[in-house]
Chain A
Amino acid sequence: MIYQDYIRVLTIDLTEETYVISQRKDLKAFLGGVGIASKLLEEHLKEDKPVLDSEQCIVFAIGALSTIFPIVTKTVAMFWSPLTGELGESYAGGRMALTMFMARYDAIVIKGRAKKPIYLSISGHSVEFKDAAAMWGLESDEVGRIIREREPGAGKRSILRIGPAGENLVRYASVCVDTYRHFGRLGLGTVMGSKHLKAICIYGKGSHEIKDRKAYFKAFSDIHQKALTTDLMKKYHDLGTPIGVSGMNANKSIPTLNLQTTFYEDISALTGEAFAQRNLIRKTACAGCPVGCIHIGQFRREFGPGYEYEAISVSYDYELIFSLGTFLGLKTSDEVLEMIEAVEAYGLDAISAGVVLGWATEAFQKGLITEAQTLVPLAFGDQKNYLKALKHISDRTNDFYTTLGDGSAAAAKLYGGEDFAMQLAGNEMAGYHTGYGSVLGAAVGARHSHLCNGGYGFDQADDFSMDTLVDRVFDEELHRCLLNSMIACLFGRRLYDRGTIVTAMASIGETHTEESLKQAAAEIYKNKLRLKKRMGFDQTAMKLPKRFFETPGGGTQLEEDVLNRLIRDYDEKCQTLFTKAE
């Protein structure tokens, strides 16, 4: 905990309805965030039991600099992923980190399974196990409203909840945090559903007395000023992440029509500018972030005859425009927003949901599956049927949708079409097919996400070189272990170089050097690799869908052999990490 020589962990047992606090001095070496969460997961993981066994746990952790420095806003969740069967690691913003910090918990471990649906009300003084039987089956938005009305602390609380998809154990169910942010990837919502845990409300009304006000204020002011004068504001506040849509398309890098192509002719209505001009109604931020990248878009829906309209607003981002837009051949921003509304309501990961539908559409076209299975004919661009399909996935209507709810890898294994089921180790691809960097980065990334190491970024760099690619991806993966221990939002990654982190840490009484931070990051990465091994993952045995090598990425035709060599080289570097230390 800040200003203390220990990490403060709240461990909740849902089966017994008990909770304990522990002060863990031994965890302090792992800084915070992903560092402490991976250690706690290591302690609680039962690899001899099924992934969704009641004894498995969820670990939430905030970082060493959480929310008292600008853009350091995220909370990490670690768990055994029901989607990939290996490391589950997901980040969410919103107010969660701030409220955990104010409630004075560095980490919250949740294990066991409630006897009936419940929600947790956590504050600095208590943990309450409250009945949520009547909320079971309700959509995420509605649950948020109910808890908002039942619990105290407007402005000082964070509300996490799952939708029906999580309850029905769809393997890529998400957790909505404070309406607009999510633990999206890898199925945290599924794990919560398996624990009969519908929601969590964290109320942070506590405080921490500042040790050295002068030092802290100086460090804070300097970083705040730096944040406001970088291009962050322009890039992420003005148009937000969708600013990347037109550029990615121009570079022939945006996965389109189930990655049959990386260029979308009809992009004009899906660009950041198009969304801003047609749909944008407001912008908001995670607590502690001056940038405000969250863009809320609104669309109008006619729900009945006689000019019956409703206005619906949801948050939109680059990844969603790709997965629920270009990947499925949708044409307009309104259509994409309506798809987002559906995944929000059901509590599905937007990326996985879009990508599995991409596979299903192509499998349907190729005759691998029939309308008797899909219940509605699936075709690229047919948004109305996609909306119905999303509902079927969430409800697990029939055998086909049940399998589709297990992910594209599981579905392709059963029905065929593995060559175009766009996933890496079971996790559906993100919105970048920029070249070797994007595929390598997601393949070797600890959680197979584009954010593990930002491999796609190296493809676009002017000094791109195949010779240095593995090293750069490796170094970035390591560095992000450090950023994710703070936990800085990755949009602010350039602001938080090691030197800045050393200064910020010093101002709150934590003495580190750039070298010691580098070593801590290496230890954290090793923990993650050990966890992956225990979960049965072998990097070199991974098989990638052929489509990655058929459709050029960023103008480059990738070769499978070359990529496999890069993966082997990367794996060797990971091995050296262990031998070097011994």
Chain B
Amino acid sequence: MSECLSLKLSECLTPILNECLTLISIRGQTLITTHFTCIKNFLKLFTFDRVEITRKKKREVGSTVAKRLRYNMNACIGCQTCSLVCSTLLGQHSLSESAIYIKTKGGLQSPYVCVVCVACKENIACLEACRTGALRARPGGGVLFDKSKCISCRLCVKACAIGAVQYSEKLDQPVICRHCGTCTRFCPHQCLWMEEVEEIAEVVEAIEAEALETSKTSSPTPETTHPKEGEAKS
């Protein structure tokens, strides 16, 4: 398939995709499966490159549209590549220093489950539990972590009802997904993707301010221009 045609296809499909994702947030998980698979199959018909689908959804550097990590585990093969890649961002080969955690529902005969921050936008439990200001609300949902303010009290770990805040004994800090999207680039079966989040004007401004601050204070890492908090400086 020619590059030109792929481009046109993606242009015409993006609105459909967006609409589907909006529907999903209203009606729930089943719908994601149906619509998403349906679209994927349709794209396959046109030998549309799957890698390209992922790229299309990736957050562009400097974009003012907030994104958050989403998953659909039906295609998960349990390879744990996401966890291994995530821990790399903290300078480790590890499963414990990863913010995304793959396990089974109950033994390997059962489906895989993904334990990761769901990017709460209201009533952010870990944020409310934090007494030191080490966590602050992240545009698009979830939190951003500042290691310099953390006293390793682990209240955030206890507070998260879905167990998505991991704790690294080695680094003596919580490990929380910051929705940077690196894992989505390496998931071999497209179980993970970044979803755009609609934000009100003030929040967009906050994102811009944050992006500006980030670009001033930290040097880009090899794998992402949005390094994780607490990441070892290379």
Contacts and interface: CB of A to CB of B under 8 A. Distances in A.
A70 B104 CA distance: 21
Contact of B79 (A156, A204, A286): A286
Contact of A180 (B88, B103, B108): B108
Give chain B's interface secondary structure class. loop
B169 to A, nearest CB: 8
B136 to A, nearest CB: 26
B167 to A, nearest CB: 11
Given A207-B94, A209-B92, A214 B234 contact: yes
Contact of B92 (A101, A204, A210, A313): A210
Given A148-B107, A213-B234, A313-B109, A290 B81 contact: yes
Instruction: Report, as a range, how many residues of chain A touch the other chain.
Output: 35 or more
Interface string B99-140: 001111001110110000000000000000000000000000
B87 interface: yes
Interface string A354-387: 0000000000000000000000000000000000
Interface string A271-299: 00000000000111111111110100000
A179 B108 contact: yes
A206 interface: yes
Given A282-B111, A284-B108, A210 B91 contact: yes
Interface residues of B, number: 35
A287 B101 contact: no
B77 A224 contact: no
Contact of A217 (B77, B97, B222): B222
Contacts of A294: 77
A209 B79 CA distance: 21
Contacts of A322: none
A293 to B, nearest CB: 9
B33 to A, nearest CB: 14
A291 B188 contact: yes
A208 to B, nearest CB: 5
B94 A213 contact: no
A180 B78 CA distance: 12
Contact of A228 (B51, B93, B94): B51
Contacts of A283: 77
B80 A288 contact: yes
Contacts of B202: none
A208 B90 CA distance: 11
B95 A102 contact: yes
B108 A288 contact: no
A68 interface: yes
Contact of A288 (B51, B79, B104, B170): B79
B129 to A, nearest CB: 24
Contacts of A218: 222
Given A156-B95, A207-B94, A213 B104 contact: no
B188 A156 contact: no
Interface string A468-489: 0000000000000000000000
Interface in B56-89: 77-81, 84-85, 87-88
Interface in A83-102: 98, 101-102
Given A214-B234, A292-B79, A2 B102 contact: no
A406 interface: no
A102 to B, nearest CB: 6
A218 to B, nearest CB: 7
Contacts of B149: none
B213 interface: no
Contacts of B189: 290, 292
Which of B97, B102, B108 has the most A CB atoms < 10 Å from its CB?
B108
A285 B77 contact: yes
A216 interface: yes
A327 B104 CA distance: 35
B19 interface: no
A555 interface: no
A144 B97 CA distance: 27
B81 A208 contact: no
A332 interface: no
Nearest to A71: B79
Given A102-B94, A206-B96, A207-B170, A155 B221 contact: no
Interface string B190-204: 000000000000000
The 5 closest A-B pairs by CB, nearest first: A207-B94, A155-B103, A292-B77, A290-B188, A285-B77
16 contacts: A68-B84, A98-B80, A102-B94, A155-B102, A178-B108, A204-B95, A207-B95, A209-B232, A210-B88, A217-B223, A220-B88, A228-B51, A287-B78, A288-B80, A288-B84, A313-B109
Interface of B: 51, 77-81, 84-85, 87-88, 91-97, 101-104, 107-109, 111-112, 170, 186, 188-189, 221-223, 232, 234
Given A208-B93, A233-B188, 7 more contacts: A148-B107, A178-B108, A207-B170, A208-B94, A224-B186, A287-B78, A292-B188
Interface of A: 2, 67-68, 70, 98, 101-102, 144-145, 148, 154-156, 178-180, 204-210, 213-214, 216-218, 220-221, 224, 227-228, 233, 282-292, 294, 313
